[in-house]
Structure 1
Amino acid sequence: MEMKPLGRTGIMVSDLCLGTMTFGSQTSEADAHTQMDLALAAGINFVDAAEMYPVNPIAKETIGRTEEILGNWNAANAARRGDYVLATKHSGEGLRFVRDGAPITAQTIPEAIEGSLKRLKTDYIDLYQFHWPNRGSYMFRQNWTFSPKGHNTDEVLENMQECLEALQVQVDKGNIRAFGLSNESAWGTAQWLRLAEQMGAPRVASVQNEYSLLCRLFDTDMAELSVHEDVGLMAFSPLGTGLLTGKYQGGAIPEASRMSLSPELGGRKSERVFDAVDVYLQIAARHGLDPTLMALAWCRTRPFMMSAIFGATTVAQLEHILSGVDLRLSDEVLAEIEAAHKAHPMPY
């Protein structure tokens, strides 16, 4: 397992990260704990959660359940807490089930962190992330209609400063070790970096945005910022919510799969996407590769990639992914992937 720096924090993380968003919905607590054991045994030392998890669906009754399941594992394995890097997130504005949809502010940060610490049964969070910018985002297909309007720049920057001050308090208390962003833009990330430098406040260590063979928005402005500023990408949905496994081709909807619960896959389902997936499946078949393992291995080649976050609904899925941790793609495969991307750019 290759280890990568978490920004400039001195913390090292595995370039595969165990995602937990199904823990407590599609994945039982017993299976979730087995996944923790298997992932750590395989050399994965990075686990990502959020206070709003689990998803599929997001429900008032289950908000926080993922953190509780991880907390129960922590309680039963107290001596192992230092063996892995634990990341979680402040939900941010709009999710009515969490603090009535309150935005990220100096007032909500300490409350959110205390809640996560309690559920996680731990004294500290290694990486604390802001799930969504208060001003909105172009992620999750919003790029098609995105317009940077409706927010006063001075107010946005003032909020950022106040949040950084609040984060510093949490660092000083020992509640968090590092700070990261999610669903952020190049402008937003640059402002957080600039203000942190001015203030001597916690510096952005990572950004968690969607990235896969099917979604390559990160490849330009964000990629350049990421490399030059040491803000590594934590890629979510590196398998395109399962599309890149091929299991949805030909109209198939496997029982208990994500598509069975979310038919449009968050706007990813389209006529064009199945054509693109077919091309990647053909590349894998020509070279005797498993398409799931190929997609993850490709993500790990990217120069800005810190860690690709994968979710495994079942223990069997996790075992399959772990079987490919040493896969390296040939130059021929990489060239064919780039040709496929040019022929099928951004299919959703």
Structure 2
Amino acid sequence: MVKKNKKRDQIIIADKVVGRSGMNWIRPGEQETRLNKKQINSAIENSLRNLQIDHIDIYQLHWPDRPLNVFSGLEYEHTETKDVVPILETMEAMASLIKAGKIKYYGLSNETAWGTSQYIKLAEKHNIPKPITIQNPYSLLNRSYEVGLSEISIREKIGLLAYSPLGGGHLTGKYLGGKKPAGSREVLWGNRFDRYRTLNTEPAVKAYCEVAKKHNIDPAQMAIQFCIIQKFVTSTIIGATSMDQLKKNIDSIDLSLTNDVIKDINNVQLKYSNPCP
């Protein structure tokens, strides 16, 4: 168990509290999940108890309380909702958890440039901690983070924890031609990955795999390393369904991408810009 591990101070444990949703099974007794003080306090206690630890290093807001398209597409349809939990209330709840020693820091997830800027502004105005990370999607199939949020990450020191660096596994090339390998995410949880079934997914993936082949490197490692080397990225979140995949993903850190590789990657991006936002 983690609490008995003598190297606990060398381990960074990150967890999340969900934003607004109808998944009330996550928070028994509530009609919906919200980012208010009451539910955040309830969530942290459950996490500490379930993980059997006394604090969480980075506690992240899984998605905003306000209405927002955060999981697919680039469009934005503004919707005013009167009962949105104020961002300040959420921040004050996080500040209280930091003061109580239950978390060290907090971060955002699936957040926009506007939302992130509000946290920064309110932190300065009310002299309370600001978020230190933002966990958003970023990959060769979705570089939309580079528009606006990348500058915020660098200037405000709110590093990106890039998730889905392999675009749900598509950037390995294993799904090309309609293939669905046994045990893959597309087979296990296919209905959750519609964002990677767009018109330009297949041609973009083919093009990136051709770049990798041209330079004699593994396409998955190329995709992960591209995320790692970005100045606005603090860490890249990898996932695997086998030990071989995990080892290959970890080994990507030793890969060096030359200027020619980066140039070829950017040429593909120009042709197939963000096919899976």
TM-score, normalisation: structure 1: 0.75
Partner of 2:72: 141
Structure 1 residue 142 displacement after superposition: 4.1
Counterpart AA for 2:118: Q
Residues 183-262 of structure 1 mapped to structure 2, 5 A cutoff: 183-262=110-189
Counterpart AA for 2:204: A
Counterpart AA for 1:113: I
Distance 2:91 2:70 in 1: 23
Distance 2:249 2:89 in 1: 41
Residues 318-329 of structure 1 mapped to structure 2, 5 A cutoff: 318-329=246-257
Residues 39-50 of structure 1 mapped to structure 2, 5 A cutoff: none
Kindly provide the CA deviation profile for residues 232-269 of structure 1, in whole angstroms up to 9, marking residues without a partner as x: 11111000000000110111101111100233514211
1:335 to 256, 260, 263: 263
Partner of 2:45: 114
Counterpart AA for 1:198: K
Tell me if 1:309 matches 2:240.
no
Q: Any idea what SS the aligned residue of 1:127 has?
A: strand
Partner of 1:49: none
Partner of 2:217: 289
Greater mean deviation of Cα atoms: 131-140 or 104-113: 131-140
Structure 1 residue 160 displacement after superposition: 1.4
Distance 1:185 1:148 in 2: 13
1:164 to 91, 94, 108: 91
Query: Is this contact kept in 2: 1:213–1:295, CA < 8 A?
Result: yes
Query: Is this contact kept in 2: 1:183–1:209, CA < 8 A?
Result: yes
Kindly provide the CA deviation profile for residues 278-298 of structure 1, in whole angstroms up to 9, marking residues without a partner as x: 000000000000001000111
Distance 1:186 1:322 in 2: 30
Query: Is this contact kept in 2: 1:209–1:233, CA < 8 A?
Result: yes
Runs of 4+ in 1 over 6 A off after TM superposition: none
TM-align CA RMSD = 1.5
Counterpart AA for 2:15: T
Counterpart AA for 1:309: I
Counterpart AA for 1:102: T
Tell me if 1:151 matches 2:81.
yes
Query: Is this contact kept in 2: 1:139–1:210, CA < 8 A?
Result: no
Counterpart AA for 2:88: Q
Partner of 2:35: 104
Counterpart AA for 1:245: T
Kindly provide the CA deviation profile for residues 45-65 of structure 1, in whole angstroms up to 9, marking residues without a partner as x: xxxxxxxxxxxxxxxxxxxxx
Q: Percent identity?
A: 35
Kindly provide the CA deviation profile for residues 310-341 of structure 1, in whole angstroms up to 9, marking residues without a partner as x: 11222221112222221110000000000100
Structure 1 residue 127 displacement after superposition: 0.3
Partner of 2:62: 131
Gaps in structure 1 of 5+ consecutive residues: 1-72
Partner of 1:173: 100
Distance 1:341 1:302 in 2: 15
Query: Is this contact kept in 2: 1:244–1:295, CA < 8 A?
Result: yes
Counterpart AA for 2:38: Q
Greater relative CO (CA pairs within 8 A, separation 6+): 1
TM-score, normalisation: structure 2: 0.93
Count of residues paired in the alignment: 271
Gaps in structure 2 of 5+ consecutive residues: none
Counterpart AA for 2:103: I
Distance 2:189 2:149 in 1: 29
Query: Is this contact kept in 2: 1:140–1:266, CA < 8 A?
Result: no
Structure 1 residue 309 displacement after superposition: 0.5
Query: Is this contact kept in 1: 2:227–2:233, CA < 8 A?
Result: yes
Counterpart AA for 2:214: R
Greater mean deviation of Cα atoms: 182-191 or 78-87: 78-87
Structure 1 residue 225 displacement after superposition: 1.3
Structure (1/2) with the larger strand percentage: 1
